[in-house]
Amino acid sequence: MVVRDGRIVWVGEEAGLQGWTGKWMNLQGRRVLPGLIDAHMHPLFLADTARQISCTPPLIHSIEDLVTEIRRQRQSGGADAWIKAWGYDEGKWSEGRAPTRWDLDRAAPDVPVIVYRTCSHMAVVNSVALAIAGISKETPDPPGGEIVRDSDGEPTGLLRENAKALVTPFIPVQTMEESATALAELSPQLLGHGITAITDLMARREPEDDLDLYRKARERGLQPRTVLYYLWEHLRKRPVIDPSIRSRQSPVHVGGIKLFADGSISGRTAWIDPVYRGNEVTGGMATTSWEELLAAAEAAKENQVQLVIHGMGNRAIDMIVDTFRGTKGWLADMPSIRIEHAALPSPKAIQGAVETGIAIVFQPIFLFAEIESYLHNIGRERTRGAYPVQTMLE
């Protein structure tokens, strides 16, 4: 094997090495693997959660454990600082349910609190946070979202999908300088796992452009090559991506447009049929429309970038494939359209994706990380058929 300028340029039998010059290394029979490309990441989320309360075992096993940890942080934090936590999965907790505003109020009745579910498609906030965001009994559900309510119509604090956006503008964010440093500090962890190229599937273009952030992070030591996928909601009004920031020769560049067709299986917001177990009505929700899909695809085509669509439930995947069935790809050397996750694709959708050239990006680790919720929400039979990698390959 010959390596030049950090790249493998030749592989073959030892006799073929004649004529090559340079430094020789004998690896003593050890394996050599190429750097891994993580095609679906959220590096900013990873950097941010490193400074939040982790709701996963062994620290948190129950709502009471969470209350204790929030109370501890409240006592050591600022007078009005938001308390943030992430990663809860009610299926792994002793109570078997999600926390509510009233649980969080017991821990911090006087400062805002937000706790993100493991899937990031849902979050729970306390009463102070609801008041800050102006969410009350009279607040309507936003399109593609739900403010979960009790039997009296009062918000429980649980916000599904697009309802999270009602609170987001009020949560203080790190400065670009702080975020750049936090991203740079991820390098040892990423490289230690062999990951040499990463993606950000939720890159923002407003109020500040994440491209500038990642460039600054690279100056501070972020080593993996980085490809950004702008959220469609940030491009809808001005769907133009300058060619200079799309160059794949750059270690940080824009590679596509991202939007969501539904939510998550574990959070019961993925758009599925039949409906979720234990509920004769709820089959999740669509968070976009075929009109939006077509508009985003046209923007991706005009800018010569990929269109990346989150789709987990069979109804969402069917909608995506049916919308683009027979569409000719606009990129010559890679799939023009990707479906992210594709937990429960129908045989018809799989065939349509293959015929149209739509790529599927699986994350079967969900079956390990969220197995309790999958079994509870869709049952053993559908769980067994989730993420059909072998079928797709065949």
Beta strands in the chain (DSSP E): 2-4, 7-10, 36-37, 53-54, 83-88, 113-117, 122-125, 145-149, 155-161, 195-203, 225-231, 252-260, 306-311, 337-341, 359-361
Across 342-365, average pLDDT: 96
- Is the confidence at residue 282, as pLDDT, over 90? no
b/e 328-367 (16+ beta carbons within 10 angstroms → b): ebbbeeebbbbbbbbbbbeeebbebbeebebbbbbeeebb
Q: What is the pLDDT of residue 102?
A: 98
pLDDT in tens, 240-257: 999 999 999 999 999 999
Residues near 241 by beta carbon (within 8 Å), at least 6 away in sequence: 230, 235, 254, 303, 305
Element (H, E) at 192: helix 187-192
Together in a domain, 241 and 153: no
Together in a domain, 136 and 277: no
- Is the confidence at residue 280, as pLDDT, over 80? no
Q: Is there a contact between 139 and 130 (Cβ–Cβ < 8 Å)?
A: no
Together in a domain, 196 and 224: yes
| Alpha carbons 74 and 110: distance in angstroms, whole number | 9
pLDDT in tens, 76-88: 876 668 999 999 9
Residues near 384 by beta carbon (within 8 Å), at least 6 away in sequence: none
| Alpha carbons 364 and 94: distance in angstroms, whole number | 25
Q: Which pair of structure tokens corresponds to residue 231?
A: 């959220």
**What CATH number does residue 118 fall under?**
3.10.310.70
**What CATH number does residue 335 fall under?**
3.20.20.140
**Is residue 205 one of the residues assigned to a domain?**
yes
**Is residue 185 one of the residues assigned to a domain?**
yes
- Among the listed ranges 49-53, 61-65, 279-283, which one has the minimum average pLDDT value? 279-283
Q: What is the CA radius of gyration of the chain?
A: 23
**Is residue 40 one of the residues assigned to a domain?**
no
Q: Using the 8-state DSSP alphabet, how is residue 392 labeled?
A: H
Relative to beta strand 155-161, strand 145-149 is antiparallel
**Is residue 296 one of the residues assigned to a domain?**
yes
Q: Is there a contact between 180 and 142 (Cβ–Cβ < 8 Å)?
A: no
Across 201-219, average pLDDT: 95
Across 166-195, average pLDDT: 94
pLDDT in tens, 287-340: 999 999 999 999 999 999 999 999 999 999 999 999 999 999 999 999 999 999
Together in a domain, 54 and 145: yes
**Is residue 318 one of the residues assigned to a domain?**
yes
Residues near 138 by beta carbon (within 8 Å), at least 6 away in sequence: none
**Is residue 372 one of the residues assigned to a domain?**
yes
Confidence band, pLDDT 50/70/90 cuts, at residue 50: confident
Task: Please choose, from the candidates 86, 81, 85, the residue with its C-alpha nearest in 3D space to the C-alpha of residue 110.
Answer: 81
- Is the confidence at residue 206, as pLDDT, over 90? no
Q: What is the pLDDT of residue 198?
A: 98
Together in a domain, 146 and 107: yes
Together in a domain, 83 and 212: no
Together in a domain, 189 and 257: yes
Together in a domain, 20 and 53: no
Across 162-184, average pLDDT: 94
| Alpha carbons 72 and 66: distance in angstroms, whole number | 10
pLDDT in tens, 52-63: 999 988 889 999
Across 218-224, average pLDDT: 98
Q: Which pair of structure tokens corresponds to residue 30?
A: 């050890």
Q: Using the 8-state DSSP alphabet, how is residue 337 labeled?
A: E
Q: At residue 162, what are phi and psi to the nearest 5 degrees?
A: -65, -15
| Alpha carbons 261 and 126: distance in angstroms, whole number | 28
| Alpha carbons 316 and 205: distance in angstroms, whole number | 26
End-to-end CA distance of the chain: 32
Give percent above pLDDT 90 in the chain: 80
Q: What is the pLDDT of residue 201?
A: 98
159: left (phi over 0), alpha (psi -120 to 50) or beta: beta
Q: What is the pLDDT of residue 49?
A: 86
Task: Please choose, from the candidates 170, 175, 157, 165, the residue with its C-alpha nearest in 3D space to the C-alpha of residue 100.
Answer: 157
Count the domains in the chain: 3
Across 358-386, average pLDDT: 94
Helices (H) and strands (E) in the chain, counts: 13, 15
**Is residue 268 one of the residues assigned to a domain?**
yes
pLDDT in tens, 139-160: 999 999 999 999 999 999 999 9
Q: What is the pLDDT of residue 173?
A: 83
Q: What is the pLDDT of residue 191?
A: 96
Together in a domain, 31 and 59: no
For residue 251, the enclosing domain spans: 176-393
